[in-house]
């Protein structure tokens, strides 16, 4: 997992608020019921935990970023939020459901996440998640690769993301013991706010691991080069539209299966 402690919660809430907005779609898969306890993995600044609380559920949010958790605690002081790495998270409580939006692609050890989710759920509990799937932001990655290669940097060695196919991710869950009940991979072209500058905010918010070791000026120049390469492909009618692809999964920990 990359060091998301450097994340800027303000930038996230102002320029990247579409992350939580789109996440509301996956809440339809979760179908949270009043009184249910729900673990929200990668809760960010807490907006979807807050939505869940509004439905009468009892969410607990965890995130690897201290800054995000501080922002979530400030926005929603009535809700429990903790700094934790979902790849090693263990809870004293059993949850009715585990939920995650736009976070699991940051965790490069998916088997460990699956184990944490399994151990956090009660038998019969469900896991519902949405994140970047195979082919996600492929156009952007290709241009980052080209620009970094011109600086002698191999972007593959710095890849911070995990974007699985449906079959490879379902296999991981099934190996853990889950029954996968639904899985979907779909395109979600995603408009960025702020006109021409949208892509620069996006690169700045999410792509730090690719640019480690560069000065601010070098980074700025690389961002400009990437934007120039991408413009004919992803900039239309005054707005950037990024080639997001999402994977959605729903899985159940079979009733009668205890933790081993």
Strands 235-236 and 121-132: unpaired
- Token digits of residue 257: 């299966």
Binding mask 184-213 for ligand BEZ (x = CB under 6 A): ----------------------x-------
Binding to ligand BEZ, residues 79-98 (CB under 6 A):
none
Contact flag: residue 248 with ligand BEZ (CB under 6 A): no
Among the listed residues 69, 102, 230, 249, the single contact to ligand BEZ using CB under 6 A: 102
The least CB distance from residue 37 to ligand BEZ, in Å, is 26
- Token digits of residue 119: 């151990």
Q: Which residues contact 257 (CB under 8 A, 6 or more apart)?
A: 123, 177
Taking each helix axis from N to C end, the angle separating 66-75 and 47-54, rounded to the nearest 10 degrees, works out to 40
246 closest CA partner among 103, 114, 48: 103
Contact flag: residue 244 with ligand BEZ (CB under 6 A): yes
Among the listed residues 136, 230, 234, 252, the single contact to ligand BEZ using CB under 6 A: 136
Nearer CB in complex with ligand BEZ: 169/206? 206
The least CB distance from residue 97 to ligand BEZ, in Å, is 21
- Count, residues near ligand BEZ per rule CB under 6 A: 8
Contact flag: residue 132 with ligand BEZ (CB under 6 A): yes
Nearer CB in complex with ligand BEZ: 169/244? 244
**66, burial (CB in 10 Å: exposed 0-12, middle 13-18, buried 19+):** middle
Among the listed residues 137, 147, 200, 247, the single contact to ligand BEZ using CB under 6 A: 137
Beta pairing partners, 127: 98, 251
Nearer CB in complex with ligand BEZ: 57/113? 113
Among the listed residues 105, 126, 201, 219, the single contact to ligand BEZ using CB under 6 A: 105
The least CB distance from residue 242 to ligand BEZ, in Å, is 8
Contact flag: residue 234 with ligand BEZ (CB under 6 A): no
Among the listed residues 64, 161, 162, 223, the single contact to ligand BEZ using CB under 6 A: 161
Residues that bind ligand BEZ (CB under 6 A): 102, 105, 132, 136-137, 161, 206, 244
């Amino acid at each position: 997992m990359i060091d998301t402690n450097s994340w800027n919660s303000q930038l996230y809430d102002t320029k990247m608020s579409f992350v939580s907005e789109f996440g509301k779609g996956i809440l339809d898969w979760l179908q949270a019921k009043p009184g249910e306890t729900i673990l929200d993995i990668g809760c960010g600044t807490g907006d979807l935990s807050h939505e869940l609380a509004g439905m009468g559920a009892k969410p607990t949010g965890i995130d690897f970023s201290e800054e995000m958790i501080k922002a979530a605690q400030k926005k929603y002081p009535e809700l429990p939020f903790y700094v934790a790495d979902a790849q090693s998270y263990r809870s004293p409580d059993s949850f009715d459901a585990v939920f995650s939006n736009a976070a699991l692609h940051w965790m490069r050890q998916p088997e460990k996440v699956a184990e944490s989710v399994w151990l956090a759920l009660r038998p019969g509990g469900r896991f519902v998640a949405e994140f970047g799937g195979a082919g996600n932001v492929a156009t952007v990655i290709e241009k980052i690769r080209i620009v970094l290669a011109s600086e002698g940097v191999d972007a593959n060695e710095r890849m911070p993301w995990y974007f699985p196919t449906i079959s490879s991710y379902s296999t991981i869950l099934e190996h853990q013991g889950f029954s996968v009940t639904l899985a979907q991979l779909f395109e979600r072209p995603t408009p960025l706010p702020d006109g021409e500058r949208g892509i620069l905010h996006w690169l700045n918010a999410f792509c730090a691991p690719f640019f480690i070791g560069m000065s601010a000026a070098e980074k700025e120049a690389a961002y400009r080069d990437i934007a120039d390469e991408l413009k004919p492909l992803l900039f239309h009618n005054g707005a950037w539209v990024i080639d997001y692809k999402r994977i959605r999964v729903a899985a159940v920990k079979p009733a009668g299966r205890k933790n081993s």
